[in-house]
């Protein structure tokens, strides 16, 4: 989905202390970006950051890095984060515009991620485009290099085909699925923060499919 160009997005991001304009130069220095060493969670294709803003607000002991390719949508994300935090400046949030296919270039080998969120990503329904899916086996194998032992991927979608395919992708990539549901909101007691897409789809009566998977503790 294309977002309309927002002329105010770039100036506002440039003035934002937690927008990282040169993320590759922060390789090996992400603790310094946040100012404190905490578990690191990535939100891939973070969009408008309705999810990330709330997650970071309630989990102050976790650092959140939101990554999206669009500066225009990151401008909206910054405003949503500012609205959620109010007058408080978040110290556990960073945003950057980057191509997720090159994600490994952002982190030094010793910098490990505890959790990756992939929420309502493009399902790329045409078979020849399946390798572009953020949950495709090829992508998951890249994420494995970034994840700590026991690191997790939390995935949500409205798309039945992508949900079923991602179950297979996780198995092919050596992940163990510990949550598998065709109706996340029907699962009692399961931790969940809504995304902007999730709110809209739920209003339309479309169930949220979800998978959560982890690497073995001995993963290196």
Do 215 and 118 belong to one domain? Answer: yes
pLDDT of residue 217: 87
Other C-beta atoms closer than 10 Å to the C-beta of 58 total 10
Beta bridge partners of 34: none
Give the model's pLDDT for residue 160: 97
- Confidence category of residue 4, pLDDT binned at 50, 70, 90: confident
**Judgement on whether residues 146 and 200 belong to the same structural domain of the protein:** yes
Q: Is the dihedral of CA 219, 97, 209, 59 positive or negative?
A: positive
Question: Does 106 map to a domain?
Answer: no
pLDDT tens for each residue of 94-145: 999 999 999 999 999 999 999 999 999 999 999 999 999 999 999 999 999 9
Average pLDDT rounded to a whole number, residues 16-45 = 97
- What average pLDDT does this structure show over 50-78? 97
Average pLDDT over residues 190-217: 95
**What size, in residues, is the chain?**
220
DSSP string, 101-159: GGGGGGS-TT--EEEEEEES-----SGGGGGGSTTSHHHHHHHHHHEEEEEEEEEEES-
Token digits of residue 67: 């990554």
CATH number of the domain enclosing 20: 3.40.50.150
Looking at the structure of the chain, the number of domains it has is 2
Q: Which residue range forms the structural domain that includes residue 93?
A: 1-101
SS3 50: helix
Place of tokens 């699962």: 187
Asked, for residue 139, whether it belongs to a domain, the answer is yes
Asked whether residue 131 is domain-assigned, the answer is yes
**pLDDT tops 60 at residue 62:** yes
Q: What pLDDT score was predicted for residue 8?
A: 92
Are residues 64 and 118 located together in one domain of the fold?
no
Same domain, 90 and 10: yes
DSSP 205: T
Model pLDDT for residues 157-179, shown as the tens digit of each residue: 999 999 999 999 999 999 999 99
Q: Is residue 192, in this structure, part of any structural domain at all? A: yes
The per-type count for the chain, helices as H runs and strands as E runs, is 7, 7
Tell me how crowded residue 86 is: count the other CB atoms within 10 A of its CB: 8
Examine the pLDDT at 1 and tell me if it is beyond 70.
no
CB 140 within 8 A of CB 153: yes
In a shared domain, residues 96 and 2? yes
Residues 136 and 191 in one domain: yes
Report the pLDDT value the prediction gives residue 219, as an integer from 0 to 100: 61
pLDDT band at residue 2, thresholds of 50, 70 and 90? low
Residue 125 · residue 158 · CB < 8 Å: no
Q: How do residues 176-193 score in pLDDT, each as one tens digit?
A: 999 999 999 999 999 999
pTM, two decimal places = 0.95
pLDDT at 220 over 60: no
Q: Is residue 107 part of a domain?
A: no
């Amino acid at each position: 989905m294309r977002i309309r160009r927002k002329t105010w997005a770039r100036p506002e991001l440039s003035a934002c202390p937690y927008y990282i304009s040169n993320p590759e130069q922060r390789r090996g220095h992400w603790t310094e970006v946040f100012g404190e060493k905490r578990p690191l969670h990535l939100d891939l294709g973070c969009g408008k950051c309705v999810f990330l803003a709330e997650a970071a607000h309630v989990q102050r002991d976790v650092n959140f890095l939101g990554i999206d390719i669009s500066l225009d949508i990151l401008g909206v994300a910054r405003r949503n984060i500012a609205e959620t935090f109010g007058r408080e400046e978040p110290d556990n949030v960073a945003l950057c515009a980057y191509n997720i296919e090159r994600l490994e270039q952002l982190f030094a080998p010793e910098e490990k991620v505890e959790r990756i969120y992939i929420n309502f990503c493009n399902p790329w329904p045409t078979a020849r485009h399946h390798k572009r899916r953020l949950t495709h086996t090829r992508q998951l194998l890249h994420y494995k290099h970034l994840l700590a032992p026991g690191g997790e991927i939390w995935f949500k979608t409205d798309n039945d085909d992508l949900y079923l395919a991602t179950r297979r992708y996780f198995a092919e990539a050596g992940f163990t699925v510990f949550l598998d549901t065709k109706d996340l909101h029907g699962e009692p007691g399961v931790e969940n923060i809504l995304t902007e897409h999730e709110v809209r789809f739920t209003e339309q009566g479309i169930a949220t499919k979800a998978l959560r998977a982890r690497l073995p503790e001995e993963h290196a």
